[in-house]
Amino acid sequence: MKKEDQIHIPRRTIKVFSGSAHPELGKEIVSHLGCEMGKVELGVFANGEIYVRFLESVRGADVFVIQTIFQPVNRSLMELLIMVDALRRASAERITAVIPHFGYARQDKKTAAREPITAKLVANLLVTAGVDRVITMDLHAGQIQGFFDLPVDHLTSLPILADYFRDKKLIDLVAVAPDVGRVKTVKKFGDILEAPLVILHKTRPAHNLAEITHVVGEVEGKTAVIVDDMIDTAGTVVSGAQALIEKGVKEVYICATHGLFSRRAQELIEEAPIKEVVVTNTVPVKVKSSKIKVLSVARLLAQAISNVHEDSSVSELFKGLEY
């Protein structure tokens, strides 16, 4: 067969769309990718039902939908599911849900009788809607990856946060785990900064309420960085900061991937003995405070999207940091 008679099969195109939960992050991601944001109409009917219509063809495309699951949480989740369903019915070749903050991740197991495992339910909903792959960041519990029978790329902001504190050149630094569940992650953060590990023993008498009962490790005269996956009502980090100050810590810094800042979080942080709170923009940070610093993860998410599209390794982004 002559070359000119051969049918040219074009390489699948990449298309990126953003939901309404955090459009600023979506715009920043596509600016790093060097492509245009896909056009989609998002609306709400008078009775509260969500409407979605894609305004361009996605047939045969490699589609990435950026939607963080944030306030209003249920609307953000439902909008994502409807967007995925519309893409599947429009013959997208592959649909990747880019979920910087995975909502309901704290409900990953039963801790009392007759409780749901809502993180698994959300995973089931995404698969049923038609998702082929998930990109997410700093899940509350790593085992949530196993709730999916499809590929999950679990990114971490740990290097971004560690670089920020390395540049501050803090002296006598200790890396503090707010509970035993975060020890492995905080140990890696401490290894990057060559800082010893300290562990707080925490109890929860009720939801969104934390009490620090013990501080394990040498902290007197040190500068402490509490490393967590999220700050919601700020109860845990404020209690931790107070416990560390009582043990003789000079300064307390907080860093977390997801800055939710619900209820009186900002007020509690302002009143607490905390030098600075560092979070990323996985969710829109709406509070304004001189104590709060927001770092961007858009470049990291863009690189992950590019690697997935090119069928190259995502783990290469975190060489030397098994997570």
**pTM (predicted TM-score):** 0.92
CATH code matching the domain that covers 158-295, chosen among 3.40.50.300, 3.40.50.1820, 3.40.50.2020, 3.30.1540.10: 3.40.50.2020
Q: How far apart are CA 286 and CA 249, in angstroms?
A: 30
Q: Which residues pair with 15 in a beta bridge?
A: 63
Q: How far apart are CA 234 and CA 239, in angstroms?
A: 8
- Grade residue 12 by pLDDT with cuts at 50, 70 and 90: confident
Q: How far apart are CA 101 and CA 121, in angstroms?
A: 16
Domain residue limits, the chain: 3-155+299-318, 158-295
Give the list of residues 6+ apart from residue 187 with CB closer than 8 angstroms, or none.
Answer: 175, 177, 197
- Grade residue 321 by pLDDT with cuts at 50, 70 and 90: low
- Give tens-digit pLDDT for 121-153: 999 999 999 999 999 999 999 999 999 999 999
- Give tens-digit pLDDT for 22-33: 999 999 999 999
Give the list of residues 6+ apart from residue 286 with CB closer than 8 angstroms, or none.
Answer: 261
Q: How far apart are CA 62 and CA 60, in angstroms?
A: 7
Task: Examine domains 3-155+299-318 and 158-295 and report if their fold is the same.
Answer: yes
Structure tokens at 323: 């997570």
- Grade residue 9 by pLDDT with cuts at 50, 70 and 90: very low
Q: How far apart are CA 23 and CA 68, in angstroms?
A: 10
Q: Which residues pair with 198 in a beta bridge?
A: 176
Give the list of residues 6+ apart from residue 264 with CB closer than 8 angstroms, or none.
Answer: 233, 234
In this model, does residue 205 exceed pLDDT 60? no
Residue 27, number of CB atoms within 10 A of its CB: 13
Asked if the bond preceding 273 is cis, omega within 30° of 0, the reply is no
- Give tens-digit pLDDT for 168-190: 999 999 999 998 889 999 999 99
Catalytic center residues = 202
Structure tokens at 16: 């990126």
Q: Which CATH class is domain 3-155+299-318?
A: alpha beta
- Give tens-digit pLDDT for 35-76: 999 999 999 999 999 999 999 999 999 999 999 999 999 999
Q: Measuring CA to CA, which residue among 308, 311, 317, 278 is closest to residue 294?
A: 278
